[in-house]
Amino acid sequence: MSTPAKVVVVGGGVAGLATAWLVRARAAEAGAPIELTVLESDGVAGGHTRSDRVDGFLCEHGPNGFLDNEPRTLELVERVGLASRLRRARPEAARRYIMRAARLRELQMSPLRFLGSDAVTLGTKLRMGLEPFVPQRRDGTDESVAEFGTRRLGAGFAASLLDPMVSGIFAGDSRTLSLKAAFPKMAELEAEHGGLFRAMLARGLRARRAAKAAKAAGETRPTPRGGPAGPGGTLHTFPEGMGELTLRLASELAAAVRTGARVTAVTRDGERFGVRVGAETLAADAIVVAVPAPAAAELVAALDPRAQAALAAIPYAGVTVACRGYALESLDRPLEGFGVLVRRGEPVRALGALCSDRIFEGQAPEGARLLRLILGGAQDPGIVDLSPDELEGVVQNDLATLFGAHGAPRLRQDYSWRRGIAQYTIGHLERVAEVERLERSSTGLYFTGAAYRGVSVNGCVKDAFAVSERLVRALVAARARRGASAAA
Ligand SMILES: Cc1cc2nc3c(=O)[nH]c(=O)nc-3n(C[C@H](O)[C@H](O)[C@H](O)COP(=O)(O)OP(=O)(O)OC[C@H]3O[C@@H](n4cnc5c(N)ncnc54)[C@H](O)[C@@H]3O)c2cc1C
């Protein structure tokens, strides 16, 4: 019997856990024996993807859901036996609001309704109407998300809609985020169709043709549409929150997961790696680094200074999540809908607020509302340094302004992340290329997680599939080589 290959995954967030689970499953399918270890510095696995049930309220530390437009996430959910626990967003979560000039205004998704809405000014709408006449940019250089939005749809759109939306996803600054790295589909749409309205028309036409062809072929599948979470997908979670996914992965990996194990360095000795944890050094044939980029930079300092510099240059936005539960009578304006995005310059400091129990059933007790403020981000880095009292002052002011909240909340639960969300700023693709160069030049070393090719849970899971496939393929090939040389 051959000795099992030692595989070490550093980091037990959703990326590390999913990769570890898939490596184990794929290795078993390929008949390649492995000894797997996941090293997580925290006392509990899960990273940002954790949930707490407190006094009947469901509080998410980080992600509150994922869109069902990434088949790999649905596949993983199915394979770990959680498919029957999936819960879709309520239909009323399709209603979203934006704060403009100190008032909440509904964001209309259909073009005609948008024209009649007061989410942006008339001047902004008129300028947006000129988009089909804006020439396509052909120089191929990267530009910021704000530059792209201003060029195609005008400065009003970029400031009043695009920037708050970007804050809602990346907690980022649209003026520094790279369009190609953060929103590659947008860049592709312009490259393919010459503009966004043209792309919308072409896609609509394609969808209608596909529906017609499906009808002619006697298929009854519904045509995919945008759902409550926005275009291209419907938001999903589990009854006990997104933490169910990481809990299930960790419990299936069982003893392979070591918590309270902070890795301080990765070294190389010939074909093998050394993983330093406290005074101990674990030997590994393959390593998956699934920690935030600044932590990854520290780990590879001795291996490759160029990759270390690239990793260290991936910035993070600090984010604080403030969950507050209220009796409905304590809210003068208990919003029915997904939540509110806030433009910069409004009398609210939060980037936005979610009405968690309006998005998903079962997240608040009967007669109560769970509100979740997202504060901080790249444009308000000071938030993570506030004292608890200062933070409470900000939260109470924001909730009073947005929802007319008064009196003491029934629930107070805060989560603060200094390394909250990776920022794919201009130059991100080059930094990732540098990390990928290190991967190619060091057989057996892999990097995955939200820092590189997708910041969402879906992005992490998709990458986990790709990395686990490459890793197991390499293990199988190395085993075959060893077998061949032993036989010779
Ligand atoms: C507030 C917030 C809201 C979000 N909302 C959404 C959402 O609604 N939908 C969505 O799809 N995404 C959302 N995201 C993004 C999503 O949470 C991340 O993409 C995902 O959780 C990242 O997973 P990860 O495993 O890459 O990183 P992490 O979750 O950060 O996990 C990394 C792990 O590595 C460990 N670690 C660090 N250093 C070491 C070390 N030296 N040794 C060992 N272990 C170490 C950490 O303790 C951590 O457990 C949100 C993020 C935040 C912060």
pLDDT per residue as tens digits for the range 66-125: 999 999 999 999 999 999 999 999 999 999 999 999 999 999 888 888 888 999 999 999
**Ligand 1 center–CA 13 separation, angstroms:** 6
- CA atoms 256, 260, 263, 269: torsion sign: negative
For the entire predicted model, the pTM comes to 0.94
Q: What is the mean pLDDT of residues 475-481?
A: 91
- Domain 5-45+244-314+425-487 in CATH 3.40.630.30? The answer is no
Query: What is the structure's pLDDT at 9?
Result: 98
Could you report the per-residue pLDDT of 260-307, keeping only the tens digit for each?
Answer: 999 999 999 888 999 999 999 999 999 999 999 999 999 999 999 999
**Beta carbons within 8 Å of 37's beta carbon, 6+ residues apart:** 6, 7, 8, 9, 256, 258, 282
Identify how many contiguous H helices and E strands the chain contains and give both numbers.
17, 20
Strand order in the sheet with 352-355: 103-107, 96-100, 339-342, 352-355, 368-376, 316-327, 411-422
What is the residue extent of each domain of the chain?
5-45+244-314+425-487, 51-92+315-422, 110-215
Q: Which residue has the higher pLDDT, 141 or 368?
A: 368
Task: Please report the DSSP string for 94-138 in residue order.
Answer: G-EEEEETTEEEEEP-SHHHHHHSSSS-HHHHHHHTTGGGSPPP-
Query: What is the structure's pLDDT at 1?
Result: 56
Query: Cβ(12) to ligand 1 under 6 A?
Result: yes
Distance between CA atoms of residues 386 and 202, nearest Å: 48
Query: What is the structure's pLDDT at 217?
Result: 78
Q: Select from 232, 165, 138, 170 the least CA-distant residue to 428.
A: 170
227 pLDDT more than 60: no
**Ligand 1 center–CA 246 separation, angstroms:** 11
**Ligand 1 center–CA 450 separation, angstroms:** 7
**Ligand 1 center–CA 61 separation, angstroms:** 10
CATH number for the domain running over 51-92+315-422: 3.90.660.20
The ligand 1 atom nearest the CA atom of 291: 34
pLDDT band at 224 (very low <50, low <70, confident <90, very high): very low
Query: What is the structure's pLDDT at 152?
Result: 96
Query: Cβ(41) to ligand 1 under 6 A?
Result: yes
Residue nearest to atom 3 of ligand 1 (CA): 62
141 pLDDT more than 50: yes
Cβ proximity of 313 and 290 under 8 Å: no
Residue nearest to atom 37 of ligand 1 (CA): 291
477 pLDDT more than 70: yes
Query: What is the structure's pLDDT at 222?
Result: 45
Cβ proximity of 261 and 268 under 8 Å: no
Distance between CA atoms of residues 168 and 479, nearest Å: 46
Q: Which of 22, 48, 244, 249 to mutate to test the pocket of ligand 1 (most atoms within 8 A of CB)?
A: 48
pLDDT band at 220 (very low <50, low <70, confident <90, very high): low
Query: Cβ(325) to ligand 1 under 6 A?
Result: no
Could you report the per-residue pLDDT of 324-364, keeping only the tens digit for each?
Answer: 999 999 999 999 999 999 999 999 999 999 999 999 999 99
Say how many Å lie between the first and final Cα of the chain, rounded. 18
Say which CATH topology domain 110-215 has.
protoporphyrinogen ix oxidase, domain 3 (1.10.3110)
Looking at every residue in the chain, the average pLDDT score rounds to 94
pLDDT band at 219 (very low <50, low <70, confident <90, very high): low
Q: What is the mean pLDDT of residues 388-408?
A: 97
Cβ proximity of 58 and 366 under 8 Å: no
**Ligand 1 center–CA 393 separation, angstroms:** 27
Residue 347 exposed, middle or buried by CB count within 10 Å (0-12, 13-18, 19+): exposed
Encoded tokens for 171: 């907690």
